[in-house]
Chain A
């Protein structure tokens, strides 16, 4: 027969489907997922810590290459991690969809036929009584929210359908979370920009120092707005002796131009600025000393603030100045900035406090070829001294140049001079938007509510029957763990008795 042929043909798919959707497999996939997530906490991940991956590569290039082949630096987007969660969600759908159908039918159906042998139920009581008990039972069970079916000589009642509803909604919410994460990630973007006090940032792709868009991102998502960093303040703890120098607040005061509206506001850690189409977050800060470099001909070959990268908690900072137009030769400077400088016995400086109380800049000066014309992109924060000669600095022919704010110093051999004009601060800002975020939150909240419902609501069946010989039987059954079933049945019987006596 055709049907038997068809059923034979569909045996294997059916077999795999049954396997995949069995509870045991869901369990195994869950455990696999947990195990597969572990390496992402052991090895640096490109998404969370790209620099860590670079350092790993520098330290152990061979091992790194192997790990990279296994996608261990991209665990959560790897083929194997994705395979596990996709299988898990397929298994989930295969389990939950049929259950939804059954549950819908159960919701519309009457409670089950009263079983023949009630005494086999986990809870059972019997006593003498008549049909008035059944009438009273109807009232009591109805009041307790049971769904009731009056059968000939018995009542079949059930409540707690919310348990299964909750369970199903919970699983669907997880699918919702996954979809919102996926689509939201696709349309999301985050861009980083370092802004020195007084600088203005205009929201377009070219203005970002780095930008990471989702796969479906379109440049049109960037709403036109501009931000000016008017001032950056750090509040230090001055009240508590043991904590002096501990920053307790970072405040980026900005003027924002949103097109229709202009506002002045503060961006702080935990308190991003809501700009059109994105939030602006404060992610870092540091010093940007303003420096002028004169070349050997007396011309200005560099002038302006330089972003210095903080090196320690007392804000010892490192900056690089490049003067490619300097004559007769290009100049490069590696500069250290100490907000509150103190000389060590070795002659080197250190910063002993993060706020600029006694600011000092030291410079190691190089001359030669900066290597900017070779076409290789150069890191603005690093100086390649391979083709350069140190003309001033530690272990150089002349000691490192030391400058306080306002001071200037001549470079050796008539190569020019440098001036420390002033001190500004910079803020690292992150402009980010993820349209999926709100949906992830809604589905997550729904999953939490439905999970609670599923785990806390008991599903109970209660039967009352007028048996032969003037005997009344009471029985109760619960799905899964229900510590209170005994007590609940006793209460119900109590209420029924007092109802029937009236």
Chain B
């Protein structure tokens, strides 16, 4: 491969952007939390009453508090701003390294957080998913914070094993899958909290349980297809790099486990008595496995996927 000249000053600028995104994200999170606290003091207008007033027989999908409060609007503006700043940080990191910015854990985390925010903000244009803004902002915040504080490494040239176009394909699809599955996980949490019957007033502002379940399903479906692709692309790459398409390397094992868990979730959704809470728990466990795979397996399990850079 041709020698890449790394640009360390530029990677410092990138870090500056990533860190400031963190600050804006924290502010957004505060506002979203504040909004939740406000919502928890008033009961939402019941859906029947709304249905009666709008004249439709359909259950309205939108949450009861249709109108954005000033707090909420400020929160979303901050979320957009932090996503844009983070995006600049991610791009600069790639420019500084002279390659795609997802070759180690730090880079995977910031790119992942960026894509999760992007998936969420895009989905928001199509559907009213404001109610999980706190979860999304919180999740992205924790991811970026971990990236900056725990996983940070200076730009590096990548080892020969990673010098492949599969790094672009395999990893970017893995990140996208994680983005969709993360949004679904937010829905599962919302579902389980609402179903538990606690904080009735707050969750009266959330969509109906059936609605939450359906949204989660849709995001999981997309995530599952992308995850399947990640698995296949990984096997193709492994055949080139490690002379076998599958060897039960720890990372392969966990990619497989996650795939099977989500397959289980899809079956649960089609099985009477298993949808609802059980499916939600299953989806959540599956997503926790995704997180486990990225953190614990990367850092503490022995295997061939040694790219954390730590």
Contacts and interface: CB of A to CB of B under 8 A. Distances in A.
Contacts of B253: 37-38, 40-41
Interface string B147-160: 00000001011111
Contacts of A430: 243
A27 B157 contact: no
Interface of A: 23-24, 26-27, 30-31, 33-34, 37-38, 40-42, 44-45, 47-49, 52, 75-76, 181, 190, 235, 237-240, 242-243, 246-250, 268-272, 279, 281, 283, 430, 432, 434, 437, 440-441, 444-445, 447-448, 451-452, 455-456, 480-481, 483, 486
A42 B229 CA distance: 25
Nearest to B6: A240
Given A47-B247, A190-B244, A269-B161, A41 B301 contact: yes
Nearest to B217: A481
B138 interface: no
The 5 closest A-B pairs by CB, nearest first: A269-B160, A30-B264, A281-B243, A41-B253, A34-B260
Contacts of A47: 247-248
B270 A237 contact: no
Contacts, number: 149
Contacts of A239: 3-6
B257 A249 contact: no
B271 A23 contact: yes
A281 B218 CA distance: 42
Contact of B160 (A48, A249, A432, A486): A249
Interface string B240-266: 111111111110011011001101101
B187 to A, nearest CB: 13
A493 to B, nearest CB: 15
Given A41-B253, A190-B243, A270-B164, A448 B218 contact: no
Contact of B248 (A26, A45, A240): A45
A445 B246 CA distance: 16
A21 B260 CA distance: 18
Given A33-B260, A432-B243, A432-B244, A237 B274 contact: no
Given A243-B157, A270-B164, A434-B244, 4 more contacts: A33-B260, A41-B250, A246-B159, A248-B160
B84 interface: no
Contacts of A268: 160
A277 to B, nearest CB: 14
A41 B254 contact: yes
7 contacts: A42-B301, A235-B3, A247-B160, A248-B3, A249-B1, A270-B161, A448-B225
A48 B248 contact: yes
Contacts of A243: 6, 156-157
Nearest to B286: A34
Interface string B120-135: 0000000000000000
A416 to B, nearest CB: 41
B23 interface: no
A444 B260 contact: no
Which residue of A38, A272, A440, A481 has the most chain B CB atoms within 10 A of its CB atom? A481
A270 B160 contact: yes
A427 B157 CA distance: 22
B245 A270 contact: no
